[in-house]
Structure 1
Amino acid sequence: MDGSDDGAAEGELDEEVYRRAFRSTEAPAVIADPDFVIRDINRGGLDFLGYELDDVVGQPLTVISGDDDVSAEILDSLSRGERWRGQFAVETRNGRNVYGTGSASPIVVDGETKGIVAVFVDTTKQRQYENAAEVLNRLLRHDLRNELNIMYGHIQRAQSAAESPAADESLERARDKIVDIVHKTERARDLRDLLEKSHSASNRPVRLDIVLNNKLVEVMHEYDEAEYEFEVFPEVTVVADDLLPAAVEAVLENAVTHNDAETPRIEVSVDVGDGDVVVSVADNGPGVPESQRDLIFGREEFDQLHHGTGISLFFADSVLSGYNGDIWVEGNDPRGAVFKIRLERP
């Protein structure tokens, strides 16, 4: 705000009004002095970064910077009395980098720079969803190529062993692979569409028990060969959005479809803590070796054709990251895996 242009208008309102307006603005905002030392930060900024007022007032602006190069660029522009706009990162109190767009402007009064104001708009969730959509497409392309190679191999075997039991078996397996390809294509398309539609949605309180009940009913109907065990879920809200049901469904389906037991058994439970909630989905399947517990979520890749082992788990991991949540897998006793979903409470 340039005082030389707006001085008359400012005289119509008390200085405290402007102070309260700044403090109550939802978008994270910081005011620094000409030496780039933080002198004030609004409630939106404190909530977003996880700090208290006394933690940051008197500290250099770089204390909340998540990108030193961009910070240097911003400070250089402000030193020349110029406004800066662009993409940059800030670092929260727990060391997590969050990304967004924003602007930083000199506060000029009577031709003299009295301070600096910076405003930040969080786009971390949008970036995560866009990255997730891109990787989903890559996963689909790689999986399709592998599945098609297998299908062609079986078809060739069938052609060379025509009118034999081996030919029938190979053709049956080839048809199964075609069904797998169609399913993966449809699943990837649906998940991509969900990401594209929801990347701009704001996190809000969501009733976890309602989501679990609804999705369990759907999964139990579709996979009625499995046994399900769960008790009445506690009525608890979590920080999420419209993608949470799809993420929960992905984990439940994975517990059934990758289960090699004669009778798959799925147990779902909820543990409510002071600041978060952990959902456990236990199964009696083959389990997940420790060496693959990050790989299955698509967090690692060991060659250019292998990106995790399932599109759905990658999707769930990406969605939960957008809530500042988490998903991991542990071993089950005596056999199987336990997938755990951690969500924050509002």
Structure 2
Amino acid sequence: MWSSPGDEDGVGVEAVERGAQDFLIKTDLGPKLLGQTIRYAIERARQQEELEQRNRELALLNQIVRHDIKNDLTVILGWGVALREHVEPAGEDHLDRIMRASEHIEAIADTAGDFMEILDGEEQPELHPISLPSVLETEVAKANSAHADATITVPESLLPGLQVTATDLLSSVFRNLLNNAVIHNDKAEPHVSVEVETDADRVAVHVCDNGPGIPDSQKSSVFGQGAMGEQSHGSGIGLYLVDTLVAMYDGTVQIRDRSDWAGEPNLDGSVFSVTLRRV
């Protein structure tokens, strides 16, 4: 882009914001500078093309690997169910550990797939009305099935027509929050409840657990990419995905101690509150 002395800063900044690689000042332009600028532009374009090609290859590799992992996990989980009635009491705990580990790997593969769907999609995904009761009931049922030792509840009085502005990946938000509430729970019988509050414009969904809670020093960083708690055995991307999706939906996510949220000082656990736009 060409500019003249006086307006070069404002015009140049605007040009770069709109996608220009660089800008030149007419009074400073000479053969050497012009040649150098062209060479740099060609090199940047080449690097950009290499990056896009690498991203396409990684996306394909991710798809293949996740497909193969999920196929093998389906077989493993099927064998585990079939073995249940043949396992002696002394081996039941070992089988339970195998089943939980397999389910956890499956959840990681699903989360990785959700991330790829975001990365491969448009920069501004098209938001549309999503039935919140349908999403919550489905994800709570899945979580109860995956975690037999936990009790996970959702209100029966949800408004059947309650809708929020989101995408089909909204289910991943609550899948990760529910799994996180159970996996990191230190109680023999994890209890997780989903509470919903509404007003004219917003819907707040609270995922409450009776686990060990999250220290205040970690509350502000737990949604960071790759962040994991001291006792975490996960990949560290689940809550980052939650935060990314909720921000995409023009919503908010907040962590509080359950004792503060409920106003009862002796309660253990945390509350993850997701607020979304109501349709």
AA in 2 matched with 1:335? D
What is the Cα deviation at residue 188 of structure 1? 4.9
Cα distance in structure 2, aligned partners of 1:330 and 1:262 = 22
Match of 1:189 among 112, 118, 138: 112
Q: Which residue of 1 aligns with 2:142?
A: 218
What is the Cα deviation at residue 273 of structure 1? 1.5
> Helix, strand or coil for the counterpart of 1:297?
coil
What is the Cα deviation at residue 257 of structure 1? 0.9
Aligned length: 187
Q: Could you report, residue by residue, the CA deviation over 1:242-287 in whole angstroms, capped at 9, with x for unpaired residues?
A: 1101111111111111111110001101100221110000000000
8 Å CA contact 1:276–1:343 kept in 2: the answer is: yes
> Helix, strand or coil for the counterpart of 1:291?
helix
RMSD: 3.8
AA in 2 matched with 1:194? E
What is the Cα deviation at residue 342 of structure 1? 0.6
8 Å CA contact 1:296–1:309 kept in 2: the answer is: no
8 Å CA contact 2:140–2:153 kept in 1: the answer is: no
Q: Which residue of 1 aligns with 2:132?
A: 208
The verdict on how the C-alpha distance between 1:181 and 1:252 changes in structure 2, with shifts beyond 3 A counting, is closer
Cα distance in structure 1, aligned partners of 2:137 and 2:227 = 34
Q: Which residue of 1 aligns with 2:203?
A: 277
AA in 1 matched with 2:192? I
Cα distance in structure 2, aligned partners of 1:285 and 1:301 = 18
Question: Are 1:341 and 2:274 matched, yes or no?
Answer: yes
Cα distance in structure 2, aligned partners of 1:296 and 1:223 = 23
> Helix, strand or coil for the counterpart of 2:222?
helix
Q: Could you report, residue by residue, the CA deviation over 1:16-49 in whole angstroms, capped at 9, with x for unpaired residues?
A: xxxxxxxxxxxxxxxxxxxxxxxxxxxxxxxxxx
Cα distance in structure 1, aligned partners of 2:278 and 2:111 = 29
> Helix, strand or coil for the counterpart of 1:274?
coil
TM-score of the pair, normalised by structure 1 = 0.46
The verdict on how the C-alpha distance between 1:185 and 1:285 changes in structure 2, with shifts beyond 3 A counting, is closer
> Helix, strand or coil for the counterpart of 1:186?
helix
More helix by share: 2
What is the Cα deviation at residue 189 of structure 1? 2.9
The verdict on how the C-alpha distance between 1:181 and 1:212 changes in structure 2, with shifts beyond 3 A counting, is closer
Cα distance in structure 2, aligned partners of 1:224 and 1:197 = 35
Q: Which residue of 2 aligns with 1:97?
A: none
More strand by share: 1
Cα distance in structure 1, aligned partners of 2:216 and 2:226 = 13
Cα distance in structure 1, aligned partners of 2:174 and 2:198 = 17
Structure 1 stretches lacking a partner, 5+ long: 1-68, 78-83, 89-129, 138-174
The verdict on how the C-alpha distance between 1:87 and 1:273 changes in structure 2, with shifts beyond 3 A counting, is farther
The verdict on how the C-alpha distance between 1:185 and 1:330 changes in structure 2, with shifts beyond 3 A counting, is closer
> Helix, strand or coil for the counterpart of 2:18?
strand
Match of 2:239 among 313, 318, 322: 313
- Structure 2 matches for 1:141-220, cutoff 5 A? 186-199=109-122, 201-220=125-144
Cα distance in structure 1, aligned partners of 2:195 and 2:105 = 33
- Structure 2 matches for 1:1-346, cutoff 5 A? 72-73=11-12, 86-87=18-19, 186-199=109-122, 201-231=125-155, 232-234=157-159, 235-298=161-224, 310-333=236-259, 334-346=267-279
What is the Cα deviation at residue 184 of structure 1? 7.6
Q: Which residue of 2 aligns with 1:161?
A: none
The verdict on how the C-alpha distance between 1:332 and 1:197 changes in structure 2, with shifts beyond 3 A counting, is same
> Helix, strand or coil for the counterpart of 2:208?
strand
8 Å CA contact 1:238–1:343 kept in 2: the answer is: yes
Cα distance in structure 2, aligned partners of 1:342 and 1:299 = 21
